[in-house]
């Protein structure tokens, strides 16, 4: 029954928490390491720094069971190797001898990583939609593109807690661009000005001209030195830049930046994409309408 149980199970003998038994689900959870017959602290050293050994000591001392839902466990299969976060529902159940002393601790639980990830994604999606609704209300009454973009960059930058959020119009040659709307956090410089896309590197040109986002977590590590220098000179270490194409032509850019290396999440990418699709398209249309509208004395 233990061997075929869908959840993980193990028996630890006291007082050193020696792993007497572990089923296949438990072995899979810990990367099929050779653990049976070894002390827990030696077999799975990550449980010490993650606090689980302290909890087990308390269960042995008090004789009280312990349970948790959605607890983070980060197994490290090889010393210095990658860590994969897992989320667990588990229980530590003391097993007593005839004298009432804690003889063993039975460990059981289930891996709920997929369920937890789905719950987190749902909460993030709901938060993103609320923000987009708030953004739409704040910008809906603005008829001028510049005012709309100033509000958009400020709200997006503050919501994501980044260094800069900027909007740019492309020149006719699809290389030069002018950052017109820019929000900068305290301690970060404004990056309003005119630039050449080519100076930001081949990846920027290739991705943005084809309608793909430019995603850089650490430009010093990911780009050639001369390309990274262009970002560094304006205080940028990480960026997501979303292009706006009209009739196959690169027309505008919306970007979020951070002054420190930043591993962008799927949620940050999704928000950048949706803001670009909603606000940037709308602002571009308003700017074009104003540019082509005849003077009031001709209308």
**DSSP strand pairing (176-184 vs 164-170):** antiparallel
**Tens-level pLDDT at each residue, the chain (299 residues):** 777 777 999 999 988 999 999 999 999 999 999 999 999 999 999 999 899 999 999 999 999 999 999 999 998 777 777 778 899 999 999 999 888 899 999 999 999 998 888 887 788 778 778 887 888 887 777 677 778 888 888 988 888 999 999 999 999 999 999 998 889 999 899 999 999 999 999 999 999 999 999 999 999 999 999 999 999 999 999 999 999 888 889 999 999 999 999 999 888 998 888 888 776 655 555 555 554 444 443 44
Write out the two tokens for 288: 């074009």
If one counts every other C-beta atom within 10 angstroms of the C-beta of residue 23, the result is 20
The pLDDT of residue 279: 66
Rounded distance, CA 256 to CA 236, Å?
10
Is 0.95 topped by the overall pTM?
Answer: no
Cβ 122 vs Cβ 261: under 8 Å: no
Question: Measuring CA to CA, how many Å separate 132 from each of 5, 22, 271, 280?
Answer: 45, 48, 8, 13
CA triple 269-273-279, angle to 5 deg: 140
The answer to whether 8-111 and 116-292 have equal CATH topology is: yes
**Domain 116-292 carries which CATH code?**
3.30.450.40
For residue 280, the model assigns a pLDDT of 60
Q: What pLDDT shows up at residue 292?
A: 45
Return the pLDDT at 127.
79
Beta strands, E only, the chain: 8-13, 18-22, 66-73, 86-96, 102-111, 164-170, 176-184, 193-196, 214-216, 238-246, 249-258
CB neighbours (10 Å) of residue 125? 12
Q: Is the peptide bond before 228 cis (omega within 30 degrees of 0)?
A: no
Pick the CATH number of 8-111 from 3.90.550.10, 3.30.450.20, 3.40.50.2300, 3.40.50.300: 3.30.450.20
Token pair recorded at residue 213? 């986002």
Q: What is the pLDDT of residue 293?
A: 46
**Domain ranges across the chain:** 8-111, 116-292
């Amino acid at each position: 029954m233990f061997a075929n149980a869908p959840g993980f199970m193990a028996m630890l003998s006291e007082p050193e928490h020696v792993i007497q038994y572990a089923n296949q689900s438990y072995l899979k959870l810990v990367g099929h390491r050779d653990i049976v017959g070894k002390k827990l602290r030696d077999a799975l050293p990550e449980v010490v720094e993650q606090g689980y050994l302290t909890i087990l000591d308390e269960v042995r001392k008090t004789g009280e069971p312990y349970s948790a839902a959605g607890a983070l466990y980060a197994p490290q299969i090889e010393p210095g190797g990658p860590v994969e976060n897992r989320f667990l529902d588990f229980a530590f159940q003391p097993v007593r001898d005839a004298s009432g002393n804690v003889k063993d601790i039975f460990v059981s639980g289930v891996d709920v990583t997929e369920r937890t990830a789905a719950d987190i994604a749902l909460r993030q999606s709901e938060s993103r939609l609320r923000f987009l609704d708030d953004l739409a209300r704040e910008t809906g009454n603005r008829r001028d593109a510049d005012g709309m973009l100033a509000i958009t960059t400020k709200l997006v930058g503050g919501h994501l807690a980044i260094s800069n959020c900027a909007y740019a119009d492309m020149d006719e040659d699809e290389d030069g661009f002018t950052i017109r709307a820019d929000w900068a956090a305290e301690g970060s410089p404004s990056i309003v000005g005119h630039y050449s896309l080519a100076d930001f590197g081949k990846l920027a040109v290739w991705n943005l001209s084809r309608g793909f986002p430019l995603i850089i977590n650490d430009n010093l590590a990911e780009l050639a030195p001369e390309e990274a220098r262009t970002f560094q000179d304006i205080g940028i270490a990480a960026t997501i830049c979303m292009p706006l194409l009209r009739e196959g032509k690169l027309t505008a850019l919306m970007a979020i930046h951070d002054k420190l290396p930043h591993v962008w999440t799927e949620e940050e990418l999704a928000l950048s994409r949706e803001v670009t699709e909603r606000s940037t398209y709308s602002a571009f249309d308003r700017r074009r309408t104003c540019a082509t509208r005849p003077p009031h004395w001709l209308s």
